[in-house]
Amino acid sequence: MNIPITSHTTRRDARLRFRVTRPTTTTTVIEVVGEIDLATAPDLRTFLDTCLPDPDRDVILGVSAVTFLSATGISVLVHANRVIRDAGRRLRLITRSRNVNRVLQITGVDRQLACHQTPDPTAKSRSDSPRPTSLAQRSALQPVDQRPTDVEET
């Protein structure tokens, strides 16, 4: 049973939008579009808090269309993961954005959350993979001077 799509735009401006679908009786998919920063993170947290109370649904949170993720936004993602985990459910974060992936890797949050590049539930998350533990090991894998190719310079 597919429940109708719900859309929401933040009250402050149109920099952050949400789209909710319920493709199965056990899954809620929330797609986030825009920037998650100090101004919009409270709206995202409020929105997620209204979607998370359902005790029978795992949550797939799509942030592939997020163009900016601040520390405040990261705290909202960690909070959502904690709420969902405490309820005995799972949160899967879908991240195809290099900018968002880089922030999650640098902060180590990609090891706390089940991060995927596809919504396929059988896909292995990055948090399931062995991760380098020291800064030197991470630096050896990700040279500091390597720049993402999808960043536009002005």
Q: Are 95 and 64 in contact (CB under 8 A)?
A: yes
In a domain, 147, yes or no: no
**Number of domains present in the structure of the chain:** 1
Instruction: Tell me the pLDDT tens digit for each residue of 92-141.
Output: 999 998 989 999 999 999 999 988 887 765 445 444 444 444 434 333 33
In a domain, 152, yes or no: no
- For residue 100, the domain's CATH number is 3.30.750.24
Domain that holds residue 131: 3-141
Distances from the Cα of 82 to the Cα of 3, 48, 74, 150, angstroms: 26, 12, 12, 31
In a domain, 69, yes or no: yes
Average pLDDT over residues 37-41: 94
In a domain, 46, yes or no: yes
Q: Is the pTM of this model over 0.85?
A: no
Give 53's strand partners. Answer: none
Question: What is the DSSP secondary-structure string of the chain?
Answer: --EEEEEEE-SS-TTEEEEEEEEETTEEEEEEEEEESTTTHHHHHHHHHHHTT-TT-EEEEEEEEEEEE-HHHHHHHHHHHHHHHHTT--EEEE---HHHHHHHHHHTGGGTTEEESS--TTSPPGGGS----SHHHHHHHS-TT---TTPPP-
In a domain, 150, yes or no: no
As a whole number, the mean pLDDT across the chain is 75
Task: Give the span between the Cα atoms of 9 and 29, in whole angstroms.
Answer: 16
In a domain, 74, yes or no: yes
Average pLDDT over residues 84-89: 89
